[in-house]
Structures are given as structure tokens and as C-alpha cells.
């Protein structure tokens, strides 16, 4: 089984070249058919679009990766908590994206859980939220542009890990503090350690209230009816050593009664810590119910119909099935070693990742509840040590039931060797039949934890072709340079293949604010502006205006040039910043530089080609 998909991938190329060979033995024919079918399942010809977007958290890459499914083609990286110079994202200290990110914490992050917005139990294609476990932040991505719309720090907790949206309304996203601290007193006294689950306004990401408790919270999920949200809690011991954290035979799933928490806030039953109302769970009976489950559970997932919460055992080979309304454990089926996360199809089956067994196990939920011995439907090997697994649509009430991604922690020999560290590995599994089938493997940067898959038809119509012109946009013909003491504002446009102005002059030490608008109206015509020796790189997509501030501290001529190959005149798309000594006369030319002006502005020196 471990080699099956190598065969499939190898055959994939030969089938494309040679077509299906029908002059073989029956066995070979059958194999070829299987291979062809697997290849055809993932083959999307160039120019044809995939059926799904897969949005993978980038882990310590601080970003989200966009892949097309079933082709497994890499489409885009959305940088969130880390600068990406290529995209002009947060790389210039004087840019808006840098300021927004730096205001919330460091310039890197650890993204774990991508969460899609829903309307009436379906993904609506509007928003994607994601957490930064390392620096306790949550970001909101606008799926019209696949860009960050909001980033906020979550106060009073550490290790902002589990993330989910409160269903069905999606008015909150809530995030779990995995690491215990004394948020109220900032002491080192472990007797005072607590953890919290924070409820954020889903749009502004302001923390509206928190529920605090002794212990920790790991993975988050929401019931479907607006009452409870759930979190696994592996450190009910409130220990500070790994030995201490596995002392108890049972830990818990915590259920928070959200309407009751809201009522407690309204009635003033909270302590304000760092500006946030914090409800201590001990003081509001019923706000937090602990449901005992075996030792150190991990994944926590509500079934699509909202009936059950499934807590994956991690150190126990079981999945606990909890009634999402009565909060009672009703079954604890064994599934295999190291169960971490569970996902769903549209036929009543659960798929649990087994980290230790390196398998995905498919099992029938109702059969497991009834104690029928044949509740395990199928197992498939994955390569290797799977963490999350996610089926298409599985966090909504309407899973699609066709594809599942296995997000594996180790790839070992799966790809070309590139040193001691290998790429992370995902495998695509066809779950449309009774038996699962691994049909492709694709590498990525470190280290995807979780993924969501949304049908193309849900999302593609939301995606905009160009940015709407903002009020701050610089219009063609209205480019200008405005001086105010030592502050200089440069209002610049770019379009194939010219920056206007092509030249501006400043005094050494001036603070320059560059407003750059891409006035293209055509999709994909991005221009970039890199300013030599000043460490500035800006990317402006069609319609976008960016603002970047820097100090012109070096004397001389500094060219800015376009970084995105945009036309046959791309290399000629450049201009100069002339930095003159304080007191020198400055040329105010803004429009196209004519020969006469050029002669004047560069001291009459003509090019030898003229
Ligand atoms: S955690 Cu990584 S495998 Cu952050 Cu979702 Cu379970
Ligand atoms: Cu604009 Cu290259
Ligand atoms: Ca424990």
C-alpha cells in the first residue's frame, strides 16, 4: 500500500504520453484501468480550472497556501504574519501592511486553523479566519482579493491555538489559549495559572469577552445551533511538565454555553483584564461544562448534522462521541493508534487521522454508536504521520463527500532529496467510493496543519478582477509632488509601461511619502516599484493604491524600476529619485520628461544614442 501512489504518479506521465495500453493480460489491464482512473481523477488540463480551492494553513510560514483540487496545483501564497517582499507585503517599514502587522506583534507567525465563514450552514465564500499560535493573533482574509483585511492581538491568553466560528450566526470567532499563564497578575506563580477562550467579533476581531478556567484549551469547534462551543482540554492537571500533563487518565472536552456567557457579561459578572470582560468559569455555574474523555485528547469536531462532538483520543486509541445537546458521552469506539483529527463525508462516515499508525481510518458514526462490530469501513496508509485531515465542505453542514486531504507531518523519501529537511507532504484521497484511494501527493513549505476545501463555484464569483479605485487613488494626469517643509508627498501612477512622475527631487533627509496607484483596469497587470539602495519594494495590483514612507538619507541618483514583467517596455519602466544637498534648488517637473526638461534637469548631458 505504501507504494501504490508512486506507481500511480509514475503511470500518470506514461498514460499521458502513450494512452492506455489494451494489449496486456487481464491483470495488467485492470491495473492500467485503475491507474488511468486515478490519473484522470487528478488531471486537470492546462487552462481548465480545478473544482475546489484548498486553503492550507502555512504553520511557521505564517501564511495560507492556496492549492487547486484535484490537480494539487499550487496557486498562491497569502502572506499574513510574515513579510513577503515579492508581494510588497509588510516588507517596507513605512508601508500600511507593515504598520498593521507590526502594531500587533512580531513579523512572523505560526498559522494553524483556517476557518471559513458560513451562511445557513454553507460556506459562503466571504471570509477566512486564521490564528497565529505563537503570538496570540487572529487574522481575517477577504476572499474577494485573498488579502489580509484585519489582524488583532488577543489579550489575556497564550498559545492562541484552536480557532472556530460560532455557528450558525458566525458573529464570533473564538480562539483557545493553549498555554497557561497568570494573565491577571503577570506573576510566575503556577498556582495562579489559568487559560481562556476568547470570543472575538468576527468582523473587527475585537475581543468581546473571555471565559477563563484552570487548565488549558486545545482544539475548538462549534455546535450548529447557537448554544455550545467545544474545546478539547489536555492539561486539566494544570501541570507545567509533560509528565505532569499526562498524570490523569481522563481529561476533558469543555462545552461553553455561549448565550449564558453573554448573559453573564450583560449582568456584569466578570473581571476586566486588559480592557476585556473575563468570566471566571467557577463564578458562573453552567458557563463551562467539563465532559470527561480519555487522556490528553486532541481534535474536536462536530458532525455535519450538529448531533455529536467527536474528540480524538491522541494517547487513547478511541474517539469519544459526545451528544452535542445533552453533553453526555454515548460511545467511545476504537479506531487505531494516535487519533488526532476527524472529518466527514455526506454519507454518515467519519475519517480520523491516525498519527502513530500513519493511516486515515473511515468509520460509520451510527454503527459505532449502536456498537455494531463492523463500524470500521476502511483504512488507508498515508506518508507519513498524519496530523489534520479534512474533507471537502466538512466544517459546514453540507460536506461534499468526494475529496479528502491528509496533511502529513513527514515526507521522508516521497520527493527529490533536498538535504536533511524534506518538504511537508499532503496526500489527496478519493473518498467518493466505499474504499478510500490515495491518488496524489504534493509537497509544500513548512508546515501545513489544517486545511479547508471550498467548491470553486461557491468562491469564484466573489473574487474581484481588479481593485475598486479607493478615495486615495492617484488619477492619471493628476500626479504631483507636494512639499511641506522636509515632508514630500509623491503622488504617482503606473500603467504599462511608465511611472509618472519618472523623476522627482528631494533634499537629503526629507521624509518621502509615496502614494502609488496602479491605474490599470485589466486583471493580472500588477506593477512593482523597487527603489535601488533604499530597500523599498512595492507591488500594486490593478486599481490598488499603496502608501510607503521612507527617509531619503542618501545623496545621489536612485532609480526605481518595475519588478513585475509587464510588457515589452517593462525594463524601460523606471524613474529616478534625485536626492540633493539641503538648500539645493529642486526641479518640480512631474509630467513626462521632455528633451528640454531632461537637458535642464540632468545638466545638459545628452545620451550618446541621440
Ligand atoms: S494542531 Cu497541528 S496537527 Cu495546531 Cu490543529 Cu492537530
Ligand atoms: Cu510594470 Cu513591469
Ligand atoms: Ca492530561
Q: Ligand 1, atom 1: nearest CA belongs to which residue?
A: 449
Q: Which residues contact 480 (CB under 8 A, 6 or more apart)?
A: 491, 590
Ligand 2 lined by 269 (C-beta under 6 Å): no
Whole-angstrom distance, CA of residue 24 vs CA of residue 29: 6
Q: What is the pLDDT of residue 591?
A: 64
477: CA distance to ligand 2 center in Å? 19
Please determine, for residue 130, whether its predicted confidence score (pLDDT) is greater than 50.
yes
Neighbours of 74 (CB within 10 A): 15
Band of pLDDT at residue 22, cut at 50, 70 and 90 = very low
530: CA distance to ligand 2 center in Å? 11
Ligand 1 lined by 409 (C-beta under 6 Å): no
Average pLDDT of the segment spanning 223-231:
98
pLDDT digits (tens, 9 = 90+) for 342-389: 999 999 999 999 999 999 999 999 999 999 999 999 999 999 999 999
CB 555 within 8 A of CB 577: no
pLDDT digits (tens, 9 = 90+) for 456-494: 999 999 999 999 989 999 999 999 999 999 999 999 999
- Please identify, by atom number, the ligand 1 atom nearest to the C-alpha of residue 449: 2
Quickly tell me which residue has 501564497 as its cell: 77
Average pLDDT of the segment spanning 16-35:
52
- Please identify, by atom number, the ligand 2 atom nearest to the C-alpha of residue 567: 2
User: Backbone phi, then psi, for 273, in 5-degree steps?
Assistant: -125, 125
Ligand 1 lined by 314 (C-beta under 6 Å): no
Q: Which domains does the chain have, with CATH numbers?
A: 36-108+333-464 (2.130.10.10), 480-598 (2.60.40.420)
Taking the CA atoms of residue 450, residue 221, residue 226 and residue 147 in that order, the dihedral angle to the nearest 10 degrees is -30
Please determine, for residue 3, whether its predicted confidence score (pLDDT) is greater than 60.
no
Please determine, for residue 8, whether its predicted confidence score (pLDDT) is greater than 80.
no
Q: What is the pLDDT of residue 593?
A: 58
Which of 29-38, 86-95, 390-399 comes out lowest in average pLDDT?
29-38
Which of 103-107, 215-219, 383-387, 468-472 comes out lowest in average pLDDT?
468-472
Band of pLDDT at residue 97, cut at 50, 70 and 90 = very high
45: CA distance to ligand 2 center in Å? 29
Ligand 1 lined by 450 (C-beta under 6 Å): yes
- In 214-297 the beta strands, taken as DSSP E runs, fall at 220-222, 228-233, 250-257, 271-273, 276-280, 288-294
Q: What is the pLDDT of residue 443?
A: 95
243: CA distance to ligand 3 center in Å? 9
CB 321 within 8 A of CB 369: yes
DSSP 444-479: ESS----EEEEEHHHHGGGS-SSPPPPTTPPPTT--
pLDDT digits (tens, 9 = 90+) for 531-544: 999 999 999 999 99
Side-chain half-sphere CA neighbours of 430 within 13 A: 18
35: CA distance to ligand 1 center in Å? 33
pLDDT digits (tens, 9 = 90+) for 235-294: 999 999 999 999 999 999 999 999 999 999 999 999 999 999 999 999 999 999 999 999
- 558: nearest Cα among 531, 537, 580, 536: 531
Amino acid at each position: 500500500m505504501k507504494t501504490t501512489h508512486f506507481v500511480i504518479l509514475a503511470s500518470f506521465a506514461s498514460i499521458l504520453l502513450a494512452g492506455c495500453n489494451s494489449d496486456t493480460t487481464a491483470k495488467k489491464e485492470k491495473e492500467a484501468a485503475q491507474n488511468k482512473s486515478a490519473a484522470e481523477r487528478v488531471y486537470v488540463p492546462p487552462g481548465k480550472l480545478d473544482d475546489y480551492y484548498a486553503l492550507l494553513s502555512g504553520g511557521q510560514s505564517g501564511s495560507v497556501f492556496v492549492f487547486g483540487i484535484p490537480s494539487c496545483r499550487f496557486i498562491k501564497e497569502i502572506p499574513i504574519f510574515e513579510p513577503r517582499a515579492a508581494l510588497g507585503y509588510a516588507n517596507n517599514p513605512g508601508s500600511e501592511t507593515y504598520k498593521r502587522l507590526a502594531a500587533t506583534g512580531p513579523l512572523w507567525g505560526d498559522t494553524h486553523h483556517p476557518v471559513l465563514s458560513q451562511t445557513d450552514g454553507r460556506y459562503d465564500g466571504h471570509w477566512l479566519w486564521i490564528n497565529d499560535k505563537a503570538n496570540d493573533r487572529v487574522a481575517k482574509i477577504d476572499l474577494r482579493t485573498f488579502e489580509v483585511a484585519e489582524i488583532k492581538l488577543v489579550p489575556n491568553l497564550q498559545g492562541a491555538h484552536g480557532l472556530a466560528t460560532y455557528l450558525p450566526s458566525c458573529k464570533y470567532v473564538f480562539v483557545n489559549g493553549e498555554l497557561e499563564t497568570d494573565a491577571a497578575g503577570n506573576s510566575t506563580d503556577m498556582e495562579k495559572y489559568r487559560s481562556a477562550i476568547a470570543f472575538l467579533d468576527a468582523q473587527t476581531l475585537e475581543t468581546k469577552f473571555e471565559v477563563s478556567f484552570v487548565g488549558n484549551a486545545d482544539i475548538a469547534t462549534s455546535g450548529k445551533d447557537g448554544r455550545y462551543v467545544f474545546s478539547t482540554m489536555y492539561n486539566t492537571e494544570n501541570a507545567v511538565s509533560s509528565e505532569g500533563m499526562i498524570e490523569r487518565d481522563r481529561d476533558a472536552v469543555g462545552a461553553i454555553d455561549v448565550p449564558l456567557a453573554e448573559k453573564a457579561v450583560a449582568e456584569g459578572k466578570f473581571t476586566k483584564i486588559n480592557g476585556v470582560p473575563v468570566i471566571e468559569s467557577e463564578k458562573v455555574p453552567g458557563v463551562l461544562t467539563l465532559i470527561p474523555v480519555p487522556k490528553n485528547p486532541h481534535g474536536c469536531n462536530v458532525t455535519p448534522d450538529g448531533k455529536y462532538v467527536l474528540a480524538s483520543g491522541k494517547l487513547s486509541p478511541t474517539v469519544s462521541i459526545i451528544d452535542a445537546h445533552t453533553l453526555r458521552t454515548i460511545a467511545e469506539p476504537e479506531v487505531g493508534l494516535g487519533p488526532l483529527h476527524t472529518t466527514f463525508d455526506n454519507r454518515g462516515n467519519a475519517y480520523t487521522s491516525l498519527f502513530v499508525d500513519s493511516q486515515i481510518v473511515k468509520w460509520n458514526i451510527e454503527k459505532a454508536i449502536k456498537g455494531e462490530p463492523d463500524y470500521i469501513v476502511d483504512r488507508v496508509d498515508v506518508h507519513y504521520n498524519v496530523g489534520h485531515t479534512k474533507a471537502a465542505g466538512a466544517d459546514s453542514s453540507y460536506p461534499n463527500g468526494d475529496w479528502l486531504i491528509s496533511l502529513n507531518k513527514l515526507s521522508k523519501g516521497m520527493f527529490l532529496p533536498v538535504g536533511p529537511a524534506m518538504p511537508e507532504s499532503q496526500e489527496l484521497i478519493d473518498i467518493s467510493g466505499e474504499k478510500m484511494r490515495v491518488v496524489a501527493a504534493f509537497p509544500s513549505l513548512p508546515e501545513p496543519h489544517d486545511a479547508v476545501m471550498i467548491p470553486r463555484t461557491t468562491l469564484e464569483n466573489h473574487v474581484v478582477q481588479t481593485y475598486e479605485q479607493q478615495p486615495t487613488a492617484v488619477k492619471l494626469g493628476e500626479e504631483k509632488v507636494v512639499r511641506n517643509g522636509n515632508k514630500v508627498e509623491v503622488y504617482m501612477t503606473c500603467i504599462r509601461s511608465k511611472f509618472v512622475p519618472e523623476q522627482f527631487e528631494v533634499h537629503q533627509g526629507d521624509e518621502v511619502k509615496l502614494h502609488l496607484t496602479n491605474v490599470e483596469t485589466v486583471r493580472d497587470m500588477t506593477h512593482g516599484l523597487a527603489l535601488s539602495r533604499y530597500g523599498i519594494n512595492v507591488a500594486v495590483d490593478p486599481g490598488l493604491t499603496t502608501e510607503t514612507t521612507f527617509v531619503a538619507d542618501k545623496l545621489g541618483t536612485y532609480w526605481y524600476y518595475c519588478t513585475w514583467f509587464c510588457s515589452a517596455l517593462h525594463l524601460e519602466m523606471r524613474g529616478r529619485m534625485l536626492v540633493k544637498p539641503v538648500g539645493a534648488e529642486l526641479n518640480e517637473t512631474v509630467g513626462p520628461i521632455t528633451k528640454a526638461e531632461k537637458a535642464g534637469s540632468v545638466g545638459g548631458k545628452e545620451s550618446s544614442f541621440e
